Amino acid sequence: MVSSIGVREMAKGITTSIRLTPELRQQLDYLSHSLHRGKNWIIIQALQEFSRKNYTLFSEEAKRQSLLASQHEFNEDEKIWEDNIDVEGWQD
């Protein structure tokens, strides 16, 4: 982010710490040096990629389960829950 006077500012974020195995630390050092990027950048890229892949998997599974549930024939006990469900505010 660049301020009105042209000074580059760091985007606001949180600081956290992680424990790395010696092998993973060595790989991170190597990547950082080879790519001429900071370790923070590499870790953020890895987390974003992991999150993107898993979000897709989880949302596909949620959709699959939702479709299965919508095709399910309810017994009497389950019918009570279906009849009394409160979906106000999240239905179009």
Domain ranges (residues) in the chain: 22-83
**pTM (2 d.p.):** 0.52
Give me the residue label for tokens 């974020």. 13
Picking from 47, 50, 37, the residue whose alpha carbon sits closest to that of residue 14 is 47
Q: What is the pLDDT of residues 33-87, one digit of tens each?
A: 999 999 999 999 999 998 888 787 778 788 888 877 777 666 777 667 667 677 6
| Angstrom distance (rounded) from CA 33 to CA 87 | 52
- pLDDT at residue 21, rounded to an integer: 97
Task: Give start and end residues of each alpha helix (H) in the chain.
Answer: 22-35, 39-70, 76-83
By the 8 A CB rule, do 77 and 66 touch? no
